Homo-oligomer: A and B are copies of this chain.
Amino acid sequence: MATGTMPSRSQVEEIVRQVVTARLAGTRSGPGALAVHASARHMHVSREDLDRLFGPGYELTVDRPLHQPGNFAAKETVTLIGPRSRLISNLRILGPLRSRTQVELAFTDAVSLGYDDVPIRLSGNLDGTPGALVMGPKGVVELPEGVIRAAMHAHMSPREAAHYGVRQGDLMKLRVTSDAPVTFERVHVRVGEDSRLDVHMDTDEANACGLVRAREIVLFK
């Protein structure tokens, strides 16, 4: 028997990680079928920080590919320590490497770690965000900043953006129809040549709207 109050957050994540693409094949919206993914907390890491955490020249190991081409969940995890010495172990690293290290948490995670506030930001927009201590098997990195709650966003190709009539940086909405239907009012459009139509939300958002039981999901202006 497991003990403690929340023995299996990982189970929650396992479920919400599941891609709902398949179940939503009936809600094709334009060029690509609309995929929606719930991102559990994770870290993107720079070359420099990976060297310090795992040793010089260390290369990430692909655990499984993600929906966006070239992106993957790595086998490697780290321990994250927040401002009040509380920690989250087994924080997953996502690849490939980035120019700056960035930690993405759900609000639940942030409070658990003792943060008073973690700003909602787009990926890469890290100025003025809180820091953290990160522990790897070979060393520790003290991040001066880089901890965010990721703003909900929709990856799409230029063709898909044209279909919706939107451009990079525009805002769209996402309506999730379930027993607890929700419209998310700010979904940031991120257009990339190699991108596939794909909305990313965090685990709090996925749990709130009952994503895994969704009957219909519509992305609209």
Q: Contacts A179-B120, A180-B152 hold; do A12 and B213 have CB atoms under 8 A apart?
A: no
Q: A209 to B182: give the CA distance in the assembly, Å.
A: 10
Q: In residues 1-21 of chain A, which contact B (Cβ within 8 Å)?
A: 1-12, 15
A111 interface residue per 8 A CB criterion = yes
Q: In residues 153-185 of chain A, which contact B (Cβ within 8 Å)?
A: 175, 179-185
Q: A5 to B9: give the CA distance in the assembly, Å.
A: 8
Q: Are A207 and B210 in contact (CB under 8 A)?
A: no
Contact with B along A50-66 (1 / 0, CB 8 A): 00000000000000000
Q: Are B210 and A208 in contact (CB under 8 A)?
A: no
Q: Contacts A86-B1, A107-B210, A209-B208 hold; do A6 and B120 have CB atoms under 8 A apart?
A: no
Closest to A209 in B: B208
Q: How many residues of chain A have a CB within 8 Å of chain B? A: 48
Q: Mostly helix, strand, loop or mixed at chain A's interface?
A: mixed
Q: A152 to B12: give the CA distance in the assembly, Å.
A: 21
A151 interface residue per 8 A CB criterion = yes
Q: In residues 128-156 of chain A, which contact B (Cβ within 8 Å)?
A: 149, 151-152
Residues of B within 8 A of A204 (CB): 204, 207-208
Q: Are A87 and B185 in contact (CB under 8 A)?
A: no
Closest to A176 in B: B185
A100 interface residue per 8 A CB criterion = no
Q: Are B184 and A182 in contact (CB under 8 A)?
A: yes
Residues of B within 8 A of A210 (CB): 107, 120
Q: In residues 180-204 of chain A, which contact B (Cβ within 8 Å)?
A: 180-186, 203-204
Closest to A203 in B: B108
Closest to A184 in B: B182
Q: Are B151 and A180 in contact (CB under 8 A)?
A: yes
Q: Are B1 and A213 in contact (CB under 8 A)?
A: no
Question: Using a CB–CB distance below 8 Å, which chain A residues touch chain B?
Answer: 1-12, 15, 85-90, 106-108, 111-112, 114, 117, 119-120, 149, 151-152, 175, 179-186, 203-205, 207-210, 213
A-B pairs, top 6 by smallest CB distance, nearest first, are: A208-B208, A181-B185, A204-B207, A120-B179, A6-B6, A183-B183
